[in-house]
A and B are shown apart, each in its own frame.
Chain A
């Protein structure tokens, strides 16, 4: 696979563009910035069809788009980024497509930790959230290796939802909190009836991570498709019509501006959690 776009600073124009971009981001950061942005990266296959590309090219283009989006987020100082890479429902797609996505993921995981990579440059800690046992062994091992290698990083956090649905995550959390509560009841420390929201939250994959401030779903669809349902109660939802591979810096800047516009009202409602 070609490496991600050559670093912008590789040539004079790249350097100038990088400078302009940093100025733009500086201005943006004068307003309230989201701490956590989540992406539902929808539209890869439609991109392939519309551009009459070969099967799977849309996903590859989507991956390039993701790397750029991450770079811009980190340059803007956004500390948490979460992406919906592969839902449990997606396993029901054609086997060739599933295999292609898995191979792409494997490829990316293998060069994740290289010197020139984003992860190394920004000290990103990478999480993978989902039912990882549903993945093939090579992919699962590569994921575990990536998580272990970056677990001590103190930079921004990238969470990739793979083999994930929110209802599966919540079910897993319910099972965990039931087991813990049962143990506490048997030891006489507690009763079942005092099981609370916090008990369930502790067992979610997202424990310790702040709720997303914004969820951006590309390709114009307006639904969550079983993504972070628990965590997006007061999250600002956006659905730009651009397909994911076309999601560029101007779309991201626009999203941030939209968030900043809604922010004063959001803050006020947060006090009432409504």
Chain B
């Protein structure tokens, strides 16, 4: 199922529809540096980043990508200056509210993943409402990782499993990879739980504790563009690179 405007947007030349990744993840890095380069406050960088995200979501839904997971705010980001953190929390709330109607029209299913307990109560409530209201949407799933850390994701799965063991519904010897996968916060994804392609912007070559388990076999693409500058052209480059790769999953080609 595609959004109604999809027919009006041409598929990028050079890309093959059958080879599109089903799930793309983004580490949206570079907002602060983008603002600094322009002599603007950090908040301007984050706002520009939001506009970039909107565009990427729009293009992804047109091009048949079924799941997008974006790293908006990591557990470690709580250490940033309070003014910046407060701004970001307000930005997230504002963005969700503003786009709630659009999500329905565009068929976007929203899910906020991460440690919700650290978020302001109003944002927690709004996130739950938005997830509920968009539950039936089927064009594209958008997961926004806020207050998220890959290691904490695994630990919270571990805690749930330990509870099941304590309750007697699971034996320690029966703990398998599948059991852990069921308990990761990305279990809310309906299609393709693991990213086929993980893109990090701003030239940094590391994963920074994002989707650590889930990206075991993801193709990684490191873009030198800062996140607010990552647009259609850069996205096509990343997808093109993905389509040329040979994924073997440990076997021979």
Residues of A whose CB lies within 8 Å of any CB of B are: 45, 87-90, 92-94, 97, 165-168, 170-171, 174-175, 177-179, 181-182, 185, 192-193, 195-197, 199-200, 221-226, 229-230, 232-238, 262, 265-266, 269, 272-274
| With known contacts A225-B216, A274-B76, A192–B252 Cβ distance under 8 A | no
7 new A-B pairs (CB below 8 Å) besides A200-B155, A225-B249, A230-B154? A45-B252, A88-B250, A167-B216, A233-B150, A233-B151, A272-B76, A274-B76
Q: Please state if B177 and A167 are interface contacts (CB–CB under 8 Å).
A: yes
Contacts of B74 in A (CB 8 A): 274
Nearest residue (CB) in A for B252 is A93
The 8 tightest CB contacts between A and B, nearest first, are A89-B250, A226-B216, A233-B209, A273-B76, A175-B175, A192-B162, A222-B220, A178-B162
CB proximity of A217 to chain B, nearest CB, Å: 10
Q: Please state if B180 and A171 are interface contacts (CB–CB under 8 Å).
A: yes
| With known contacts A223-B220, A225-B250, A174–B175 Cβ distance under 8 A | yes
Cα distance, A225 to B251, chains bound together (Å): 11
CB proximity of B247 to chain A, nearest CB, Å: 8
Interface size on B, residues (CB 8 A): 46
Contacts of A97 in B (CB 8 A): 252
Nearest residue (CB) in B for A198 is B155
Contacts of B165 in A (CB 8 A): 178, 182
Residues of B whose CB lies within 8 Å of any CB of A are: 74, 76-77, 79-80, 150-152, 154-155, 157-159, 161-163, 165-166, 172-173, 175-177, 180, 204-209, 212-213, 215-222, 245, 247, 249-252
Q: Please state if A89 and B251 are interface contacts (CB–CB under 8 Å).
A: yes
Contact of B176 among A89, A171, A200, A221 (CB under 8 A): A171
Q: Please state if B159 and A92 are interface contacts (CB–CB under 8 Å).
A: no
Contact of A170 among B180, B217, B220 (CB under 8 A): B180
Q: Please state if A182 and B250 are interface contacts (CB–CB under 8 Å).
A: no
Q: What's the A-B contact tally at a CB cutoff of 8 Å?
A: 141
CB proximity of A97 to chain B, nearest CB, Å: 8
| With known contacts A238-B205, A273-B209, A223–B172 Cβ distance under 8 A | no
Q: Please state if A274 and B217 are interface contacts (CB–CB under 8 Å).
A: no
CB proximity of B107 to chain A, nearest CB, Å: 30
Contacts of A229 in B (CB 8 A): 150, 212-213, 215-216
CB proximity of B249 to chain A, nearest CB, Å: 6
Contacts of A197 in B (CB 8 A): 151-152, 155
Q: Please state if A200 and B154 are interface contacts (CB–CB under 8 Å).
A: yes
Q: Please state if B152 and A237 are interface contacts (CB–CB under 8 Å).
A: no
Contacts of B76 in A (CB 8 A): 272-274
CB proximity of A157 to chain B, nearest CB, Å: 22
